[in-house]
Structure 1
Amino acid sequence: MEDTELIREFLIESNENLNRLDQEMVDLEKHPEDAKLLASVFRTVHTIKGTCGFLNFGTLERITHQAENILGQLRNGERILTQDLTSVLLETIDAVKKELTSIEDTGVESGEEYTELLKRQKAMAEQPAETLELAIAPQQPEEESAPAEEFSPAPVAALAVDGRTNSKRRGDTVSAADSTIRVDVALLNRLMNLVGELVLARNQILQFSAREDNSSLNATAQKLNLITTELQEGVMRTRMQPIGNVWANLPRVVRDLATSCGKQISLRMDGADTELDKTIIEAIKDPLTHIVRNSCDHGIEAPEKRLLGGKPVQGTLTLSAFHEGGNVNIEIIDDGAGIDPQRVKASALSQSMVTPERADRMSDRELSNLVFLPGFSTAKQVSSISGRGVGMDVVKTNIEKIGGTVDLASRPGHGTTVRIRIPLTLAIIPGLVVTSGGERFVIPQISLLELIRLEKDKARTQIESIHGIPVYRRRGKLLPLAYLNKVLQVDAAEQASEDTVSIVVLQAEDRQFGLIVDTINDTQEIVVKPLGGLLKSVKGYAGATIMGDGKIALILDVPGIAQVSGVISDAIEAIRSDEADASVDKDSDKQTLLLFRAGNFERLAVPL
């Protein structure tokens, strides 16, 4: 095998190991008596060191050799793992990552000498040994193998034969290494594009077969539909990665922040095996890290402050991920001080981000969500961690770019929860097809809340105009409306009769509005195609897709539509707030119920 291929394999394996090593070192600091964990860390560093020597990467070999000496002392019970020692080992991991990046980008090491790091490593290794008797069984010393033997990729065919013979010896148990292969991401992207084209062809055939009275054609079309759906799901699964891959570096982030801020923070992660498309995984990495940093810096209090508040000294930060309705929900929960809505209000007013009238009408939850405004900050001083007013607005923008939403809920003195809702994939999404002005448009289903169809007299009586703004009285509350043909300035000559009004209720940011369209067609799985460079600056559109008849339909950008139409303006909020205040006494004794009958039982009611 050529050196370039050896280096490529080395980089792939080393990066995978280092992602795991960060978390293992943080866990080892908490549980220094865990011999298996220590052995795993030692093996990883030992393997990287040996392969560096084989490939003649001298700098990497020197810094990993010193780290291996320290880990060897820990493994032999000659030294106690302290916070300072952990910091040196984590700094070593950072240096290894930096060198690997340099090798990947340029083919050679960065040229940095790491003099200070090597001095600290040597000082740690040469300190008088502090013995620690671990309450564990003695370990068998690991055999020191030659570097060339540690890293000796074999031909694929040989691996396959070895896997079969080993599986027989192990009773048909196949190891993870034998049952998986690495595939270039470019190939997966190519497969995904081809599946997208197949979905488009499938939609066209289904539309054609629906017009033909041919049972054989219809049966074949349905079979093609099923096979295409299964193939699409299979290819999408190949691009899926567990969200735990994104979370892998967060224990290190929390540990470093807790150390620098003088806090005690415990990190819990639930649902780390929840899978997302690789593109989504890459897009949410930075927003998640920023939210976690904010929770550690602003949320969780210092130990003495927590004691005064009757809380445990150690704060808890919980990451949770789960599937729901074709999307993934991610929650970042801390048990810290929470967000004081009045402090947020005062800060927003002082920075002229909201008007006093609007601020007075906002609920505590709406006030808390002002932290997502560009430039907003309540920090009294700027630190290296946060306080510059840059970040949470970028988090919101980046999440919305991938079709997601972010929301914040907080209780002063109890903690804060940030909820992120994102689609599983960006390539193929479910969408609602509507028409307006004779043109078809697609609304992403993630933004869809409800469909309303008003007939004849109801359309005239229930749609009102307040201060020139059309609104619909929906279950006692005013819903601002926008006409799609007016927002997009499309020809309204073919607009449907005003006797029938179709309203699509949508969610934009933390507010709801209704979009009036001519007709509501059906839901389809659509293949998202990006807009050209000249159209990217046009608000209101998120992309395009090819429909079953071969024609193009534009995909609507719901937040953009809301901004262009003005349905989330302060004037709208003022109308809704005034109307709500006026109707409190009038409707206080009324409740809207959904009546239904279950089997042979009597009628039941569910509050709406």
Structure 2
Amino acid sequence: MALDTDDEILQDFLVEAEEILDGLNEQLVALETQPQDKDLLNSIFRGFHTIKGGAGFLSLEAMVNLCHKGEDVFNLLRQGERLVDADMMDTFLKVLDILNSMFAEVKAGSYPTAADPIIIDQLAAYLSGEAPPAAAEPEPEPEVSPPSAENNVASDDITDDEFEALLDQLHGNAAPGITPPEDPPKAEPAKSPGDDEISEEEFEALLDELQGKKPAPKTTPPPAVKPAAEAAKPVSPAEPESSPKTADDEDVVTAVKPAAAAAAPQAAKAPAETSVRVDTSRLDDIMNMVGELVLVRNRINTLEAAFENEEMAKAVNNLAVVTGDLQTAVMKTRMQPIKKVFGRFPRVVRDLARSLKKDINLELRGEETDLDKNLVEALADPLVHLVRNAVDHGVEMPDAREAAGKPKQGQIVLAAAQEGDHILLTISDDGAGMNPEVLRRKAVEKGMMDEEAASRLTESECFALIFAPGFSMKQDISDISGRGVGMDVVKTSISKLNGVIDIQSEIGKGTTLSIKVPLTLAIMPTLMVMLGNQIFAFPLVSVNEIFNLDLNKTNTVDGQQTVIVRNKALPLFYLRKWLNKNNTADPKATTEHVVIVNVGTRKVGFVVDQLIGQEEVVIKPLGALLHGTKGFAGATITGDGRIALILDFPELMNTYAHRNY
């Protein structure tokens, strides 16, 4: 039997459960290093409890059973009867993996598969005390009473008789065996049989009686209904306090919540909802319409320049301001915190370090940095490769670190920050760093270049070799690394996002990889250039600098024309020879416009005929006739109504330069 995926209640559960599961991934790893953190234990307990409640309402029994066992174990942990150890954490991480699999099944519209009985048995062993006891028990918090064997009530169940008696008492018809609460003072109006309102203290007394406890002594009988002004006053020392809740009270409260909700006094009106769930396709449609509006704005700006009308100029400026604000507002609705991606890495680092027998601490910075939803999803896989590479290749073994005078525990920092119109991501480690000479030698051994070419590589070019297909510094192949696959995929993925990668490394100090990507992929700032009569757009995030070149100051190295920029030789290419072959250079020209562009981890100079300026454009896919054309990321419409092709530099270089960039 399949689930109804259009059911609104199911969709609400999926949204809430996904957020909780993402949080549990990070919280469980943090708990291993902070096993006595009460807030963390309570938060994880509430996470399992909430998922269990939602799954129970939808009759997802497999999720209910697994969450119930996990909840019971965490109840022991938060009462201080046991401490978390590495083996217990391995079990709970497996539980989380199974819950994620169940969640995927529910999301696909089918009932979840029951958990592996071995996992259920492992959780049951912790509950029964068969698992090894904790090394030391912290003092239990005074406000929590440990459940006794005699009066322990099942987490979710009360008997039918007890429930009926409770309902009778809530409505004023006390059943035999349950002592009704004291009558209110005669000065107060008595409750009618149909009156559903009781005080909080009466409700607490009922819960205590259900669990076989004596109600807390009362110095004054509770009033039937408190006036709003009286309810707002602070409680004096003479007034009674409600008895402390045990862990089991939460489930009893959940069981009688519908009746209690009707009985509790309404102190204030519930706040209205401040959020609404919107399908992402609708946001994409709105973004496309804003993109069209940007094109119209650019067109109007161009037309306005032909008229010398002050009022029209003011109207056009107002339109530009409103369009910019609307564009920003719509972009923000598509934004998501990068924490959605970062949340998975504590688990990745913990598991990988444990398998490699390394001790590594992961620090996350800038988790609240927002970027486009599509970019969040696209960055997930490249970041996993880079973090795994830092754990495997970057951080040394504990004994090697101690021999080098470093702390036994290695540090990896994953950070995100917004810089202007782009996002900067950095992955840093305090490992051994990379040796440029070793990288040169490895490149020659693999036949990627000869010794003379390798000797001319700069340090940054040597570091960039790790992104070459098939390049690996590992001697032994394992299930983690050694095949030379992964880092080249990272470079390709980042290039498709119009991103740039930079590597800084120092021997003995560590390595830092920096990734710069645009805030959004829908609207892109570009540099417009001319080749003959055709306009082309350079993604501005890739543009490094622009200058006028004296044609007498170029050199040729290994058959490649180069230009010296700040004592560094950069390859120089004439775009007109690739993209506009009918256009020939002016033989009398002594200077050319050169745009230095970042292509992957390298810098390349492109000669263009004319520079137009910066313009925000909306990326449109190429038409059927041009679909699949190499070197172009898409097209756009300029302010004067012409079509401009947007260049894809990595693909352009691979297609025309006959070199691997």
Closer, same or farther: CA 318–151 of 1 in aligned 2, 3 Å? farther
Q: Separation in 2 of the partners of 1:81 and 1:553?
A: 61
Partner of residue 527 from structure 1, selected from 618, 621, 644 = 618
Answering whether residue 250 of structure 2 is matched by residue 144 of structure 1, we say: yes
What residue in structure 1 maps to residue 583 of structure 2? 492
Tell me which of 165, 178, 187 is aligned to 2:269: 165
Report if the CA contact (8 A) 2:79-2:141 is conserved: no
Residues 36-73 of structure 1: per-residue CA shift (max 9 Å, x gap): 11111001101111222221111111111111111111
Aligned equivalent of 1:156? none
Q: Within 2, Cα distance between the matches of 1:508 and 1:430?
A: 17
Contact 2:598 2:604 in 1 (8 A): yes
Question: SS of 2:269's equivalent?
Answer: helix
Question: Size of the alignment, in residue pairs?
Answer: 547
Q: Secondary structure at the match of 1:56?
A: coil
- Give, as a single letter, the amino acid of the residue that structure 2 aligns with 1:165: K
1:119 and 2:121 matched = yes
C-alpha change, 1:438 and 1:81, in structure 2 (3 Å) is: same
Partner AA of 1:56 in structure 2? S
Given the superposition, is the C-alpha separation of residues 533 and 126 from structure 1 closer, same or farther in structure 2, using an over 3 Å criterion? farther
Deviation per CA, 1:381-407: give whole Å up to 9, x if none: 222222221111111111111000112
2:169 counterpart of 1:63: no
User: Which residue of 612, 621, 634 maps to 1:543?
Assistant: 634
Provide, for residues 202-233 of structure 1, a one-character-per-residue CA deviation record: whole Å limited to 9, x for no partner: 11111111112222222111110110001001
Match of 1:52 in 2: 55
d(CA) in 1 for partners of 2:532, 2:5? 62
Corresponding letter in the other structure for 1:319: L
Mapped pair 1:13 → 2:48: no
Matched, 1:24 2:27: yes
- After superposing the two structures, state which structure 1 stretch, 478-487 or 185-194, moved more: 478-487
Whether the 8 Å contact between 2:635 and 2:643 is mirrored in structure 1 is yes
1:150-189 correspondence runs (5 A)? 165-166=269-270, 178-189=273-284
Question: How many Å separate the matches in 2 of 1:3 and 1:453?
Answer: 61
Instruction: Name the SS of the counterpart of 1:408 in structure 2.
Output: strand
Q: How does 1:427-438 map to 2 (within 5 A)?
A: 427-438=522-533
Report if aligned partners of 2:547, 2:595 keep a CA contact under 8 Å in 1: yes
Which residue in the other structure is 1:259 paired with? 354
Range that drifts further, 4-13 or 534-543: 534-543
Which has the higher Rg, Structure 1 or Structure 2? 2
1:125-140 equivalences under 5 Å are 125-128=127-130, 130=134, 132-134=137-139, 138-139=143-144, 140=245
CA distance in 2, matches of 1:29, 1:533: 55
Deviation (angstroms), 1:464: 5.5
Q: Deviations over 1:215-257 (max 9, x none)?
A: 2222111110110001001111111112122100111111111
- 1:463 to partner: Cα distance: 4.5
Could you tell me the TM-score, scaled by structure 1's length?
Answer: 0.84
Cα 1:318–1:477 shift into 2, 3 Å: closer
Partner of 1:76: 79
User: How does 1:259-408 map onto structure 2 within 5 Å?
Assistant: 259-408=354-503
Superposed, 1:446-465 pairs within 5 Å as: 446-453=541-548, 459-463=550-554
Q: Residue 536 of structure 2 is aligned with which of 441, 459, 466?
A: 441
Distance 1:262 1:461, change over 3 A: closer
1:319–1:331 Cα contact (<8 Å) kept: yes
Partner of 2:41: 38
**CA offsets per residue over residues 186-205 of structure 1, 9 Å max, x none?**
12111111110110111111
Once residues 517 and 190 of structure 1 are traced to their aligned partners in structure 2, the CA distance between those partners, rounded to angstroms, is 36
Structure 1 range deviating more: 445-454 or 534-543: 534-543
Q: Which runs of 5+ in 2 are unaligned?
A: 145-244, 259-265
For 1:3 and 1:537, how far apart are their aligned partners in 2? 37
Task: Report the Cα distance in structure 1 between the residues aligned to 2:477 and 2:95, rounded to whole angstroms.
Answer: 29
CA shift, 1:179, in A, is 3.5
- Runs of 5+ in structure 1 lacking a partner? 153-161, 168-173, 571-608
For residue 602 of structure 1, what is the aligned residue in structure 2? none
2:185 counterpart residue number: none
Residue 423 of structure 2 aligns to a residue in which SS? strand
AA aligned opposite 2:528: V
- CA 2–86 in structure 1, closer or farther in 2 if over 3 Å, else same: closer
Q: Which of the residues 96, 100, 106 maps onto 1:97? A: 100
Closer/same/farther in 2, CA of residues 464 and 313 from structure 1, 3 Å limit: closer
* Offset of residue 566 of structure 1: 2.7
CA distance in structure 2 between the aligned counterparts of 1:466 and 1:305, rounded to whole angstroms: 42
Give 2:321's match in structure 1, choosing from 226, 231, 238.
Answer: 226
Amino acid at match of 1:65: H
Q: Is the 8 A contact 1:242 1:274 kept in 2?
A: yes
Match of 2:205 in 1: none
CA distance in 2, matches of 1:150, 1:319: 46
Structure 2: how far apart are the matches of 1:141 and 1:50? 18
Aligned partner of residue 524 in structure 1, secondary structure: strand
The answer on whether the counterparts of 2:461 and 2:602 sit within 8 Å (CA) in structure 1 is: no
Pairwise CA distance, 1:16: 0.6
**Shift in Å, 1:378:** 1.8
Contact 1:331 1:418 (8 Å CA) reproduced: yes
2:510 matched to which residue of 1? 415
CA distance in 1, matches of 2:36, 2:385: 32
* SS of residue matched to 1:383: coil
Q: Which moved more, 1:533-542 or 1:232-241?
A: 533-542
1:424 corresponds in structure 2 to 519
Conserved 8 A contact 1:52-1:60? yes
Are the counterparts in 2 of residues 33 and 135 from structure 1 also a CA contact under 8 Å?
A: no
Using the TM superposition, name which of 425-434 and 299-308 deviates more: 299-308
Greater helix share, structure number: 1
AA paired with 1:133? P
Which residue identity does 1:436 align to in structure 2? L
Aligned partners of 2:491 and 2:600 also within 8 Å: no
The structural deviation recorded for 1:509 is: 2.5
- Structure 1 467/37 Cα, relative in aligned 2: closer, same or farther at 3 Å? closer
Counterpart contact for 2:337–2:371, Cα < 8 Å = yes
More off after superposition, 72-81 vs 121-130: 121-130
Q: CA deviation at 1:513?
A: 2.5
For the Cα contact (< 8 Å) 1:373–1:393, is it kept in 2? yes
Q: What amino acid does structure 1 have at the position aligned with 2:653?
A: A
Q: Which amino acid aligns with 2:602?
A: R
Q: For residues 3 and 452 of structure 1, what CA distance do their matches in structure 2 show?
A: 58
Contact 2:66 2:115 in 1 (8 A): no
**Cα separation, 1, equivalents of 2:526 and 2:602:** 20
User: Given the superposition, is the C-alpha separation of residues 465 and 38 from structure 1 closer, same or farther in structure 2, using an over 3 Å criterion?
Assistant: closer
The amino acid that maps onto 1:58 is E
TM score, norm. by length of structure 2? 0.77
Amino acid across the alignment from 2:304: S
- Are the structure 2 counterparts of residues 552 and 206 from structure 1 closer, same or farther at C-alpha, using a change threshold of 3 Å? same
Query: What's the CA shift for 1:322?
Result: 1.6
What is the root-mean-square deviation of aligned Cα atoms in Å? 2.8
Indicate conservation of the 8 Å contact 1:431/1:525, yes or no: yes
Q: After alignment, is 505-514 or 266-275 more displaced?
A: 505-514
Distance 1:477 1:398 in 2: 28
Structure 2 distance, partners of 1:446, 1:85, is 47
